[in-house]
Structure 1
Amino acid sequence: MDHSPNALAERLTELEIKASYADDLLEQLNMTIYRQQQQIDSLIQEVVHLRQQSQSAGQEGAERNLRDELPPHY
């Protein structure tokens, strides 16, 4: 292994470049996780809202017929 100042400087430069790429990748992964958590939170809110709608619809129209739910082309 070459321990000359030039070889050490080159190796240090390579390590700095690798560290920079690793930092960039880590930042991209953090942003991906952040966006996914926002999507999960949004989906949870939507599920809660749909459950509330479903429960209120069940209480309001217990006598509803499933045929009323069919689209007009049936």
Structure 2
Amino acid sequence: MQWLLLGGPWNGKTLWIKAGSSVRVPHEDGEEYLYAGENYLHDGRLYRLGVCHSEGDADLSAAPRLIQETGLQHIAGS
């Protein structure tokens, strides 16, 4: 399933994740950032977000714009 990453250095990027409720993503700074999977309902469709809590609060208000910009695939809904 396709995830939209919010917060941390990968903010606004998408990843395809096969399974699991979180993912660690390495960065060029040598750190690994943990993104926790969360479901997000937008316009009657359910999406999967990966939210980085280690870098402070991710800006969930940016999710609708980023969903549109990235063409994120929804996981349920019409």
Higher strand share: 2
Higher helix share: 1
Global fold match (TM > 0.5): no
Q: Which has the larger radius of gyration?
A: 1
TM superposition score normalised by structure 1 = 0.22
TM superposition score normalised by structure 2 = 0.21
Higher relative contact order (CA 8 A, sep 6+): 2
